[in-house]
Amino acid sequence: MLLGDMGAEVIKVEHHVTGDDTRSWGPPFTADGSESAYFLGVNRNKKSVAVDLKRPEGIRVIHELAAKCDILLENFVPGKADELGFGYSTIASVNPKLVYLSLSGYGSTGPRANHLAYDVMVSAVGGLMGITGPKDGEPCKVGVAITDVCCGLVSQSAILAALIARQRDGLGQHIETSLLDTQVACLANVASAFLIGGVVTKPMGTAHQSIVPYQTFACGDSQRIVVGALNNSQFVALCRALELPIAHDERFATNPQRVKHRVELIELLEKTFESHTSHEWVRRLDEQHVPCAPINTVEDVFQDPQVVHNRRVIHVEHPTVGLLKMVAPPATFYGTPYVEPMLPPPRLGEHTEMILRDVLGYTTDRIDLLKETKVVRGL
């Protein structure tokens, strides 16, 4: 979808009977029950071609598409694409300029290579669940499939880099990435804390192992806000906003000291934040330029004045569902604006006939035969 938003023509090849699994990942579904909100949220600007990949005629369709495309992305269990007949070596012989990206759960080789993997499994193996959740509590998954999301971003940037490389040497290439490799990379400072300092990070709720204060606090109205003082000047400003005479207390004068005396400092701050409402504290902290924010629900997010100002919601007309609200692409291009989402999330097989006819040059009779023999599916 990210590439589609930027103007790429994206052809989504789906199972000819069931389609993408996420079509059934609900509730919530649309009012007519035809599509899940999950599927609709990540499939705009794609054309759906429904093909039986276990039939030679179906594989021939894939080969012919690959011969005309710039990019092929597959996320089968390692080895499955080769087994079906469109692994990299086969496709490269058809189109040596093709950028071919293989996305797997754990990698193409190794002890977990053939294990089924979804976001939550990889977030567990990759350490994210092990550092997420309340202190001394059970491990928690993050609220969205962030490993999946980040892997999509990694895949996008890798594909674009390969296309730039192709401009230089005229050749495509095979790229591999995985949910696991992405998740390990996303451990970021937690990984370096272990690799460099030998520190094994454990769940700390909303707190930070290396910065104090940097967490949520309950206010007098029982609402919580998040507050951070990432340097000494911000801590002085925080103390000024809270009217606490501790800015130059040697226990709290520097961040290493604040980390060392975390318990004492947090107790002082917690008691202070209980004295006023969350709105009052945000106002006072903003006045002193202390990093802080309310904790929004999803409903709050789309009513937040900054989100509204940034126009984070766009609308696209769907042929059966009607007007869909969708989250806008996160990057704004001022020289080459992103393509307005003219294509709504596709119905299963919606573009099969069009792609076979207009891209591959199939005759109507040939298309009809493929449909009759259930090699492909249209609307």
Which positions are catalytic? 148
Sheet arrangement for strand 99-104 = 71-74, 99-104, 173-178
DSSP helix/strand/coil, 87: coil
Q: Quickly tell me which residue has 């003082």 as its tokens.
A: 229
Quote the distance between the C-alpha of residue 342 and its chain's center.
22
Give, in degrees to the nearest 5, the angle at Cα 116 between 113 and 117: 90
In Å, what is the CA distance from 260 to each residue of 137, 168, 175, 246? 22, 53, 45, 15
Contacts of 305 (CB under 8 A, 6+ apart): none
Task: Give the H or E element holding residue 28.
Answer: none
Nearest alpha-carbon partner for 177 in 204, 147, 201: 147
Quote the distance between the C-alpha of residue 67 and its chain's center.
29
Nearest alpha-carbon partner for 296 in 311, 281, 278: 278
For residue 80, give both structure tokens: 């499955």
What is d(CA 234, CA 213) in angstroms, rounded to the nearest whole number? Answer: 10
DSSP helix/strand/coil, 264: helix
Residues listed for the chain:
379
Quote the distance between the C-alpha of residue 66 and its chain's center.
26
CB-CB neighbours of 93 under 10 Å: 9
For residue 141, give both structure tokens: 């998954």
Bridge-partner residues for 175, per DSSP? 101
Q: What letter would DSSP give residue 130?
A: G
CB-CB neighbours of 160 under 10 Å: 15
Nearest alpha-carbon partner for 238 in 215, 209, 269: 269
